[in-house]
Amino acid sequence: MIFPFESLSDERRAIGLGVAVVVGIAFGFVQERTGFGRAPKLVGQFYGYDMTVFKAMFTAIVTAMLGTVVLSGLGLLDLRTVEFNYPTFLWPMVVGGLVLGVGFIVSGYCPGTSFVAAASGKLDGLVTVLGVILGTLVYAETEPAMGGFQNSGRLGGFFLYQWLHVPRPLLAVIITALAVVAFAAATRIERLAGKRAPVSPTTVAEAGPAALERGSKKRTAA
Amino acid sequence: MKRDQAKFWDPYAGGMALGLVLLATYAMMGKGLGASGASFRAGVAIVHAITPKHAELVPAMASTLEDGNPLDDWLVFEVLGVIVGGLIGAATSGRIAREVSKGPTFGTSWRLALALAGGVLMGFAAKLARGCTSGQGLSGGALMSVGSWAFMLSVFAGGYGMAYFVRRQWR
């Protein structure tokens, strides 16, 4: 096993922090170029008129998933070390997911994309960044009163291939096939929803994002 | 060269690039990407600067302060990179503009109030779920973690459930 380089989290920590900045730049750049820095594009998946973010997110999951299967199959990556960092606490994850989904559609961003939006000048993105910071502090203050809910449904390192008793490579192929079906369905949804979209994807594509912001500029000017 | 602000990468190409960045991060660091963890660390740093005694009394903050400066952390450096990367991506495609994204008929102050409220909900939720869409959904999801998939399905359920009630801000 060559990967991961454990020294990067330990005695060569400074190099690890340099790696953090580099992968962060790549992460932020790709997000911006794929449209993750724009609230109308991000929320499009919840109204069906623009499924870009859904498609990109699941393509990323499938790509990294197949990559881990190949790298560990070749004996290059010690996947146990990586999996160790992702234990399951089922109930707080389900409730946290529901609340985060509500926050996502209300703010128009998720915590990561709000950084990208703020970096490109979106004031609502910056306000979301501040809101997320505040929210994490509210959590820290209220956690002692939760009666241990945050640790409920503790399943440890528990993965879909263990739950379904399917070999990991086979399950990776099945999930990839399901993703392809989901992408086709997403494209159909875009066509159907495009007709009654609040901001149709064609408006965005043809007139440019300026069309989306024109209203806000007028209001600010007034 | 004329830049088209509305031109984005193909979603599958963008997704593949994102997946390869994630894979490289697993391989080098033994863990994936993240975002909200850095937000929390920034918050702890602020609280600690204002009232250090209080920060040391709150368990979640105290455990972050145990290792020294809360900002001296891998995730904080990664998010600084995300901000730089987002800035480069926007600057090189002509997309930097001081603006508020919303539908043309929705008020700016209401939009900002919702952005703040949604942010607070997400910050709370991300701490509860031990990660946000990046650190739990994407990074745990690609490892096939049961919790990450339960989280992700719940995010979509919450988003679809709430979408109708806030549709006006995008009109």
Q: Summarize pLDDT for A47-89 with one digit per residue, the tens.
A: 999 999 999 999 999 999 999 999 999 999 999 999 999 999 9
- B56: contact with A, CB 8 A cutoff: no
Give the residue on A whose Cα is nearest the Cα of B9.
A34
Contact list in A for residue B98 (CB cut-off 8 A) is 121, 123
- A48: contact with B, CB 8 A cutoff: no
The pLDDT assigned to A216 comes to 44
Mean pLDDT score across all residues of chain A: 90
Q: List the one residue out of A125, A10, A205 whose CA is nearest residue B119.
A: A125
* Average pLDDT score over residue span A127-132: 98
A216·B161 Cβ contact <8 A: no
Contact list in A for residue B129 (CB cut-off 8 A) is 92-93, 95-97, 100
Contact list in A for residue B97 (CB cut-off 8 A) is 120-121, 213
- Percent share of chain B, pLDDT over 90: 95
Name the 3-class secondary structure at B99: strand
CA distance A178 to chain B (A): 14
In whole angstroms, how far apart are CA A65 and each of A152, A156, B43, B103?
27, 20, 32, 36
Name the residue among B29, B58, B104 with its Cβ closest to that of A141: B58
pTM: 0.92
pLDDT band at B4 (very low <50, low <70, confident <90, very high): confident
- A12: contact with B, CB 8 A cutoff: no
DSSP string, A23-59: HHHHHHHHHHHHTTT-HHHHHHHHHTS--HHHHHHHH
DSSP string, A144-163: GGGTTGGG-SEEES-BHHHH
pLDDT band at A101 (very low <50, low <70, confident <90, very high): very high
A23·B81 Cβ contact <8 A: yes
pLDDT band at A214 (very low <50, low <70, confident <90, very high): very low
Question: Residue A88: beta bridge partners?
Answer: A156
CA distance A29 to chain B (A): 4
- A42: contact with B, CB 8 A cutoff: no
Is residue A5's pLDDT more than 80?
yes
Which has the higher per-residue pLDDT, A196 or B77?
B77
The pLDDT assigned to A7 comes to 87
The pLDDT assigned to A217 comes to 43
- A41: contact with B, CB 8 A cutoff: yes
Name the residue among A61, A124, A206 with its Cβ closest to that of B138: A61
Tell whether ipTM is more than 0.95: yes
Contact B70/B49 with Cβ under 8 angstroms? Answer: no
Q: List the one residue out of A195, A146, A132, A81 whose CA is nearest residue B131.
A: A132
C-alpha torsion B167→B152→A143→A108, nearest 10: -30
Is residue A194's pLDDT more than 50?
yes
Mean pLDDT score across all residues of chain B: 96
Mutation test of the interface with chain A: which of B8, B69, B153, choosing the one with the most A Cβ atoms within 10 A?
B8
B89·A104 Cβ contact <8 A: no
The pLDDT assigned to A219 comes to 42
Of the listed ranges A12-26, A98-112, A118-132, A183-197, the least confidently predicted one is A183-197
Q: Summarize pLDDT for A131-147 with one digit per residue, the tens.
A: 999 999 999 999 999 99
Separation between Cα atoms, residue B104 and residue A212, nearest integer Å:
7
pLDDT band at A198 (very low <50, low <70, confident <90, very high): low
Is residue A208's pLDDT more than 90?
no
CA distance B1 to chain A (A): 17
Name the residue among B84, B119, B169 with its Cβ closest to that of A114: B119
B86·A32 Cβ contact <8 A: yes
Separation between Cα atoms, residue A25 and residue A83, nearest integer Å:
24
pLDDT band at A203 (very low <50, low <70, confident <90, very high): very low
The pLDDT assigned to B34 comes to 97
At a CB cut-off of 8 Å and minimum separation 6, what does A78 contact? A1, A3, A4, A72, B30
* Average pLDDT score over residue span A183-211: 66
Q: Summarize pLDDT for B26-78 with one digit per residue, the tens.
A: 999 999 999 999 999 999 999 999 999 999 999 999 999 998 999 999 999 99
Name the 3-class secondary structure at B145: strand
- A111: contact with B, CB 8 A cutoff: yes
The pLDDT assigned to A195 comes to 62
- A141: contact with B, CB 8 A cutoff: yes
Q: Summarize pLDDT for A144-165 with one digit per residue, the tens.
A: 999 999 999 999 999 999 999 9
- B101: contact with A, CB 8 A cutoff: yes
pLDDT band at A186 (very low <50, low <70, confident <90, very high): very high
The pLDDT assigned to A196 comes to 58
Neighbours of A174 (CB within 10 A): 14
Contact B65/B56 with Cβ under 8 angstroms? Answer: yes
The number of C-beta contacts closer than 8 angstroms across A and B is 579
Name the residue among A26, A87, A114 with its Cβ closest to that of B85: A26
* Average pLDDT score over residue span B13-38: 97
- A91: contact with B, CB 8 A cutoff: no
